[in-house]
Structures are given as C-alpha cells and as structure tokens.
Amino acid sequence: MRFGRAALTPVLPLAVVLAFGAPPAAQAACTVDEISSAGVTGFQEAVISVGDLDAALNAWRDVGEFEVICTGTQSQAEAVFWGVPAETRIDEVVLRKPGMTRGFVRLVKFNGLPQVQIRSSGMTWDSGGILDLYMYVDNTPAVFDRLRALGWQSYNDPVTYSLSSFTITEVIVRGPNGEALCLMQRDAPPYDKTVFGLVDGSGKGFGWPFNSALASADYEPGAKFFGETLGWKMHLGGESKSEPPGDNPLGLPKNLAIELPRKFGAFAPHPTDRNGSIQVITSEGIVGRDFSGRAHAPNLGILTLRVPVPDLDAFARDFTAKGGKIAAPARDLAIAPYGKVKMLAIAAPNGARIEFFENH
C-alpha cells in the first residue's frame, strides 16, 4: 500500500473512524500518493455534505463504482475555512474513478451542528446553490433502478431527447441530502467512454463529474460572472424548448416545457477542454424558490466545486480587479490527496460556493 505525504496515519476502516474517531491531530490518510493538479482545468472535485457517510458510500462506491482513496477527519484550519467552529469534527471520504486524476467526489460530514438541506425539496427551476453534477452512464435506466433501490428519487423517469448534435437519454436523480446527479447516456455522437471511467456495454457505474449546473433566476448575471469576471469560455450555450409532447428530465409540466425556453451556458477556463465546466441555467417564465442563503457549510447537499489554478495570488488580483469579491480569504491548508495547498472561495451570483486552490 502506498501513502502520500498528506497521509499522516495509516488508512483506517470507515466504521472505525466513525465509531472511535481518528487519531489526535489526524487529517486524512490515503492509499495513493499525492495527486497533482497540473494540467487539470475546470473543477477537479465536488464536495458533498452528507448526513450519513455509509449511505452516501453505497451510492458512489457500490452503484457508481468509484473507489475510496482517502478517509479521515479534516483539520481545524479547514473548519475555519468552511466558516464553522474550529473544534467541529468533520469526517471525510474522497472517491474517484479508478486511476483518474480529476472528477473526484469528497463526502464530508459535519458533526454536532444544526443543518438544513441547501436545496430542500427543491425543483430544477428553483435558484440558488449547486443544482447537480453531470455524469455519463452506459445505461441510464439500469443505473437509475439501482439508485432508486437505495431510496433515491428523480424529477422524471429517464427521457430521450436531442440537443444540438447530441442524442441523450437522461435522468436527474436526487439523493437523501438534496444532492442531484444528472445521469446522461449519450447515444450520439459516439465518444470514448473509457475517458470517463466507463466500460462500454457494461450498463454499470457512472463516470466522473464533467459538468455542474447552477440554477439561477436570472441568466445574465451568471453568464457575465463566468464569461467576463472569471474570463472563462462558453463551450455550449443557447436556449432550448422540449419537442411535443413535452417530456423532459427537469420535471417541468409538459405544456410549459414546450412553451417556455430554458437558457443555458456551460463555461470552462480552457479554450478547448470543456471538462470541469460550470453551467448557468435559467427556466424562463417560471418563478421558483431561492436557496442562495443556504449555500454554505455545514448545510447538506453539493457544497462546493474546487478548481485548481497555477497561481492563486494572480488569480485573486485579476478576479478582484474585474469586480469579483472573495467570500473566504486565502488560507494555507493540507488537503488530501493534494498535500499542501493555498485556497480561497468565491460565490457565484446565485450564491453557489466555488473554491480555487494552488498546489504548493
């Protein structure tokens, strides 16, 4: 077994960590060496706040076929960075598709603090926070059935539709913490499924997250934020309506799905690589709830996306010069499996937290 420099103790079984606690001053122990963020653009990981780590693992490890690479507790410095009391115990598990260096999922459990779901009973047209993570699957109905057996639900049963040059069979599933996953079976055009950690024809698992959607009441502020303030490129964008009879994965009433457009734009920092993109989406003509005030720790659901940059100080200078505001100032942290990093947080116009970090 290999241990990275961020591993302060041998890997403990999750049940032991949760029952007895990690060793004093432990952070996280990993079965992999430190993983560099070099060459990764867009978000490298998503952080999901959960109420039950074992139940969350059942979905990601057993259904999604992700592997656990780190377990343990977060440091007091990380608790302060989250904006919770330094003494808060935060258990964590980091997962990835085997062999991948991006698209990680970090499950965190904040102990002893009052929590609500960020997008409690939320619909896809409700604004605020991070709506979902997009992942390719080999067989949407099969994966949906396996998640539903664990108690997950969805906004609609799997729907096949066309968008631009794509033909997709999609379902958006919702987990016990309010987290949502957009499972996409891309029927056309063909693509290399192994890039995302899928086995063609297996009908199992889901690939690593390649996109995330931020539901917003107003499209323009979000598009300006990502396109101008952050300077990211829009790789896919426009308006869409559902073709009659109006079936759609968003759970919209059929008549409204046909009549009212959805405006969207997927932005990424790299000019050609759109993986790790963040998408702004607005359901025009529909007024929903606003969850922006809940999009923070220790609340439950998709808590943040983490984006590596080569020079965090230069990023911060450029971002603030364009009118951007820092939500959490830069701190030096030790975060498995990356090792020592410098990290700050910003907030998108819909309140979603996005973190940027530099490897030391």
Residues 137 and 285 in one domain: yes
The pLDDT value recorded for residue 9 is 35
The phi, psi pair for 315, rounded to 5°, reads: -60, -50
Mean pLDDT, residues 83-106? 97
Name the residue among 129, 250, 141 with its Cα closest to residue 178: 129
Structural domain count, the chain: 2
Tell which of 272, 292, 312 closes a domain: 292
* Three-class SS state of 159: strand
Domain-embedded: residue 37: yes
For residue 281, give its domain range. Answer: 132-292
The pLDDT value recorded for residue 312 is 98
Q: How confident is the model at residue 3 (pLDDT cuts 50, 70, 90)?
A: very low
The mean-pLDDT minimum among 25-29, 90-94, 136-140, 311-315 falls in 25-29
Q: 254-265, pLDDT tens digit by residue?
A: 999 999 999 999
- Asked if the model's pLDDT at residue 322 lies above 50, the reply is yes
Mean pLDDT, residues 264-273? 97
Mean pLDDT for the chain overall? 92
Strands in the chain per DSSP E: 28-30, 45-49, 67-73, 90-96, 104-110, 132-136, 153-154, 159-163, 166-174, 180-188, 211-215, 233-240, 262-268, 277-283, 301-308, 326-335, 339-347, 353-359
Q: Is the dihedral of CA 78, 177, 135, 155 positive or negative?
A: negative
The DSSP code sequence of 44-65 is: SEEEEE-S-HHHHHIIIIIIS-
Domain-embedded: residue 9: no
- Asked if the model's pLDDT at residue 283 lies above 80, the reply is yes
- Specify whether the CB–CB gap between 92 and 22 falls below 8 A: no
What is the rounded distance in angstroms from the CA atom of residue 214 to the CA atom of residue 17? 33
Q: 207-245, pLDDT tens digit by residue?
A: 999 999 999 999 999 999 999 999 999 999 999 999 999
Contact partners, residue 75, CB within 8 Å, separation at least 6: 27, 333, 334
Domain-embedded: residue 277: yes
Q: Is the dihedral of CA 281, 226, 103, 119 positive or negative?
A: negative
- Asked if the model's pLDDT at residue 19 lies above 70, the reply is no
Residues 297 and 215 in one domain: no
Domain-embedded: residue 4: no
- Asked if the model's pLDDT at residue 163 lies above 90, the reply is no
The pLDDT value recorded for residue 334 is 96
What is the rounded distance in angstroms from the CA atom of residue 117 to the CA atom of residue 262? 25
Residues 186 and 323 in one domain: no
The pLDDT value recorded for residue 7 is 35
Residues 94 and 227 in one domain: no
CATH number of the domain within which 310 lies: 3.10.180.10
The pLDDT value recorded for residue 14 is 54
- Asked if the model's pLDDT at residue 23 lies above 70, the reply is no
Token pair 């539901």: residue? 215
Residues 58 and 205 in one domain: no
Token pair 């003509």: residue? 285
Tell which of 292, 310, 326 closes a domain: 292
Mean pLDDT, residues 270-280? 97
Domain-embedded: residue 230: yes
Share of the chain above pLDDT 70, in %: 92
Helices (H), the chain: 14-20, 53-57, 76-82, 140-148, 219-224, 254-259, 312-321
